[in-house]
Structure 1
Amino acid sequence: MKKMMMMCFAIILAFTGGCSMSDSQKNGNQEEAVKPKDMDPKDLPQVSAFQDEKTREYMASTKEVEPGYYLLESKLKGFTMLFPEDGEYLSDYSTTDEENSESIGFQSYNKKTNILLDGQVSYYREATFIDDPETMLDQVSKENGYKGNYSLKKEKEKNVYSAFKKNKFNKNDRKYNFSFMYFGYIKSKKMSNLGIVYSFIISCKDDDQACSLDEKKAGALAEKMIDSITFLTDKREK
């Protein structure tokens, strides 16, 4: 598996607010009498997202948000995002300070398409640095060896900064000698000091199996994941 970026920043104080979920994610995050992590695995969907013990701790519901995708909810209840049914949590690429920052690493492999997705989403609240796009994009660029510009998508509750690059592996004997990398950061427009850094690497895994991955398909998959990231509302009293 290719190395995913790990970002380390100073985190301060306690979080006091957030943003609301999209309608589709609200529908996928209906309260259940028993959470997936507390259910018998035999009663859960027979897919990696629920059958892997570590991964199902992040699953908000057994209801599909859309075919092949369920809803992940961060343990700090800071954000939700789509999560592929064949995805698995990676402890080596995940960290939390149990209060104001959380990084979730995962890997998803679609055996039918031979497409591998490595993802990492890092959430920060009460972090002053997250409000400065210039500082954040400079740091993200350094972490990813990137010297280009970022696109900016302005949405109602967040600004999404995104960049893309195609990597070629040093192993020239590989049939699928490339990967597509999408990275950037998301700034909440509702709350100060609240944001997310993300990285998604998409590639063909097995040289012995057909793989039709191209920039268009990789971009569509990355966009789906990025667009699904939604800040949650913190209901704690200020």
Structure 2
Amino acid sequence: MKKWLRISALCTVLLIGGCNTANDQQEPEEEVNGEETEEDPSTEQTPEDDDAEQEGEDEGVENNEDFLAVEDEFTKEFLVSTDVEPGFHQMRGKLDGFEMLIPENGIISDLLHDIENDAVETLIYTFNNHSEKKLYDVKIVYRNQYPEDLKQSYLDVFKRANNFEGEYEYAEVNDLEMYYGSFEDEDEYGPYLKYFGYLFLIESNQSISFSFTAMCQGKEECNISLTEEAGIAEKLMYSIRLIDS
């Protein structure tokens, strides 16, 4: 995994707690049709990002006792409903283009939120499972319109951005076409899981990309289970609704 992803996630949490370390990593570039571009193969540019506790049958997420979404001033601006199910709130993007679940200890940093031309919204939120020494990083990029003829290019660039060499799985859920994949790996910090998907609204040219990373907190040893962590990722991704305006 690229170091900037882990650094951005860790520093988001540290910044909330008073860390004065900044993430100065630059976003990677890709090539589409012979031209350099970022994750978005059109001319739009966005900043690259680029515990699970069982409550009965539910996939609730352990509280971070230090930081809760309802107590963080910036995160509260996104919440439209609290306690929609154990351990989760409902959030909506500021462009009013999408809604999804966010863990009750998920924190959105204003440093990692951006809106470009009232058309593209990028946000990253993080949450912890302190008892299991795990950190979770979720990146969302919403576009209120994408060129239909560039749909495959979006998918190809997104796959490369996630260092994925396999084939997407496909599903249709919530009026969305979902192309998604996942893999486990390890770097100098320990094991991690990547789970990601590109979602397109069937009835209009709206799209959203979803990137989820589960990793060990700092250099602490922890157990990253593909089944367990992918279950959290799927719950979040499958909760996404695009709002047809």
TM-score by length of structure 1 reads: 0.72
**What are the superposed Cα offsets for residues 61-117 of structure 1, whole Å, 9 maximum, x if unpaired?**
2x3111110001000110001001111113343211252110111111122333211
Whether 1:50 and 2:70 are equivalent positions in the alignment is yes
The amino acid of 2:43's aligned partner reads: A
**What are the superposed Cα offsets for residues 106-135 of structure 1, whole Å, 9 maximum, x if unpaired?**
111122333211010100012215x64421
| 1:102–1:208 CA distance, 2 compared to 1 (3 A) | closer
* Count of residues in correspondence between the two structures: 192
Contact 2:206–2:242 (Cα < 8 Å) also in 1: no
**Could you tell me how far 1:183 is from its partner in structure 2?**
1.4
Whether 1:112 and 2:128 are equivalent positions in the alignment is no
Which residue does 1:82 correspond to in 2?
A: 101
Whether 1:198 and 2:210 are equivalent positions in the alignment is yes
Which residue does 1:7 correspond to in 2?
A: 39
1:136 to 129, 133, 154: 154
Q: Distance in 2 between matches of 1:83 and 1:137?
A: 25
Q: Distance in 1 between matches of 2:145 and 2:218?
A: 42
**Structure 1 unmatched runs, 5+:** 12-45
Whether 1:152 and 2:167 are equivalent positions in the alignment is no
SS in 2 for 1:117: strand
Contact 1:86–1:110 (Cα < 8 Å) also in 2: no
**Could you tell me how far 1:219 is from its partner in structure 2?**
0.9
Structure with the larger RCO, 1 or 2 (CA within 8 Å, 6+ apart) = 1
Q: Distance in 1 between matches of 2:74 and 2:172?
A: 34
**Could you tell me how far 1:3 is from its partner in structure 2?**
4.7
Aligned residues with identical type, % of pairs:
24
**Could you tell me how far 1:217 is from its partner in structure 2?**
0.4
Contact 1:150–1:163 (Cα < 8 Å) also in 2: yes
SS in 1 for 2:166: coil
TM-score by length of structure 2 reads: 0.70
Q: Distance in 2 between matches of 1:167 and 1:190?
A: 36
Q: Distance in 2 between matches of 1:51 and 1:227?
A: 26
**What are the superposed Cα offsets for residues 160-215 of structure 1, whole Å, 9 maximum, x if unpaired?**
1101122211x2xx5xx110001120010121x21001110012216557x44311
> Which is greater in Rg?
1
Matches within 5 A, 1:156-235: 157-169=175-187, 171=188, 177-191=190-204, 193-205=205-217, 211-234=222-245
**Structure 2 unmatched runs, 5+:** 1-5, 10-26, 28-37, 45-65
Contact 2:173–2:238 (Cα < 8 Å) also in 1: no
